[in-house]
A and B are shown apart, each in its own frame.
Chain A
Amino acid sequence: MSDKEKIAARAALEVQSGQVINLGIGIPTLIPDYLPSSTQAFIQSENGILGMGPRCRNGSEDRNLIDAGGNYVTLTRGASFFDSALSFAIIRGGRVDISFLGALEVSAGGDLANWIIPGKLAPGIGGGMELAQKARRVIVTTAHTTRDGRPKILPRCTLPLTAKGCVRTIITELAVIDVTPEGLVLRELASETRLAEVRQKTAAPLRCPRKEIPRF
């Protein structure tokens, strides 16, 4: 399993039957592949779908049925379509139970930066700000460090924020970390990952319960 698949598989365990979830671009779009068949969740897509299924296998694409990232997708039973204003009423109205989002940076206080690197990457906000600010629970799925090895989990974000204090859980290829009023708390460690490595690659203070840390 690649790191991305490992993160998606662990993230899928956070989903409960009956929940409405939204999947951001990147790693989150892999999550449906790892949802157990006993978990019946409704996947919401910003472009006007509730009840989205996994991505299409080659040959079964429908030209009118894509997710918000342009991928051809399927539907699950009970699906519905609607316009963009209603789609964001679901989001801003508080009906999305979990929003899975990627991150450029996450702070110890749960601030999220994931939409702009000034002077470089700025393709637009999309639906990220509304999801980050209004979903009942925001779970960040991301590589633990940047491509050149710098920590993404920081005492404070240096990039412009997507939303303040919104992140509740961070899932990386190394660890599951909860954002609590007392700061970041390690919940799980990936198999064959040492605590020292997680600490070294996390720039913000990380509390570690005294009991044995579960593995994923």
Chain B
Amino acid sequence: MIDKTLPIDQALAAVHDGQTVMVGGFGVPGTPFLLLDHLLKQGARNLTLVKNDANEPGMGISKLLEAGRVRTLIASHLGLNPTAVAMMNRREIDVDLYPQGILAEKIRAGGAGLIGILTDIGIDTMLRESRQLVSLEGREAILEPALRADIALIHAAAADRCGNLVFAKSARNFSPLMAMAADRVIVEAETVVPTGSLDPDGVHLPGAFVDHIVALEKLTPDYGVLPQHVR
């Protein structure tokens, strides 16, 4: 029987200095906090991180940024993390910001074996100054290269032992796209169930994209409801 479960330290031994790491999540939902905390302990540095946002100060990827482990951050919006914005403005990290859906589509294209995508988003803005422009069927477009990574770190609500994943509610976001676009995909799962017990119609990401599964024993407070966002 295929069993992709692995102790967390063995799974993260695959991450090396200088690699590109995609991190699922949009705010708290979908952020693999345990994998990120262990990556901090594991010590890899000079990383390029790809994540929609930078979490919030002291949480998730912000811990790696604050510890000086990240050279480049590719993201869409850092609005909830003033620490990351300050580091960007002091040039302590390089930050590449993309329109959110274009970032998603670059990753999806990378996962789908495409070389790039053509889009008109931002064509009348300052974005065009830093982009490659092409013409197709009489229309001007921005050429965006596809994006891939060495590693993807993903949080799932449930996994079976052969790697089929189920995400919860708004925690799906970038996770299935990133899992498609990385050479090695490490998943932390709140529940690990025997292969065959997930409804095939309800699988959000097929196991072909998953290399390692780490079972979460308990959820730390980072995964919970954040008091600062309660009305």
A contact residues vs B (CB 8 Å cutoff): 25, 45-49, 55-58, 61-66, 68, 70-72, 81-85, 87-89, 91-92, 122-130, 133-134, 160-164
Q: Is A124 touching B75 in the complex (CB atoms < 8 A)?
A: yes
Check A160–B76 contact: CB distance below 8 A. Answer: no
Residues of A within 8 Å of B229, CB to CB, are: 66, 70-72
Are A126 and B77 within 8 A (Cβ)? yes
Residues of B within 8 A of A61 (CB): 225, 230
A61 to B169, CA, bound (A): 13
Are A127's CB and B101's CB within 8 A? Answer: yes
16 of the cross-chain contacts (CB-CB < 8 Å) are A49-B170, A57-B231, A64-B171, A82-B172, A84-B177, A85-B101, A85-B105, A88-B101, A122-B88, A124-B76, A124-B78, A124-B97, A125-B98, A127-B76, A129-B121, A129-B127
Chain A binding surface SS class: loop
For the complex with contacts A70-B229, A126-B79, 4 further pairs of A-B residues with Cβ separation under 8 Å are: A85-B108, A92-B101, A127-B101, A129-B121
User: Is B125 within 8 A of A64, CB to CB?
Assistant: no
* B99 lies within 8 A of chain A by Cβ: yes
A-side contacts of B27, CB under 8 Å: 47, 66, 70
Q: Which of A45, A82, A88, A125 has the most CB of B within 10 A?
A: A125
Q: Which of B26, B80, B226 has the most CB of A within 10 A?
A: B26
User: Given A72-B225, A85-B101, A47–B173 Cβ distance below 8 Å?
Assistant: yes
Closest 3 CB pairs of A and B: A88-B101, A124-B77, A126-B77
Residues from chain B with Cβ under 8 Å of A70 in the complex: 27-28, 80, 226, 229
A65: chain B residues at CB < 8 Å are 29, 169-170
Q: Across the interface, do A129 and B171 meet the contact criterion of CB distance under 8 Å?
A: no
Is the pair B100, A83 in contact by a Cβ cutoff of 8 Å?
Answer: no
Cβ-based interface call for B85 (8 A): yes
Q: State whether the Cβ of B87 lies closer than 8 Å to any Cβ in chain A.
A: no
Which residue of chain B is the closest to A165 with respect to CB atoms?
Answer: B124
Considering the complex, which residues of chain B in the window 181-231 have a beta carbon less than 8 Å from any beta carbon of chain A? 223-226, 229-231
The answer on a CB contact under 8 Å between A126 and B26 is no
B2 part of interface (Cβ distance < 8 Å): no
* B100 in complex: contacting residue of A64, A72, A122, A130, CB < 8 Å: A130
Give which listed residue, A45, A58, A89, A161, contacts B170 with CB less than 8 A: A45
Within 8 A of A (CB), among B26-71: 26-29, 52
Contacting residues, chain A, for B224 (C-beta < 8 A): 63
Instruction: Check: B104 CB closer than 8 A to any chain A CB.
Output: yes
For the complex, what is the distance from the CA of A47 to the CA of B8, rounded to whole Å?
A: 28
CA distance A186 to B192 in the complex (A): 60
Inter-subunit contact B101/A91 (CB<8 Å): yes
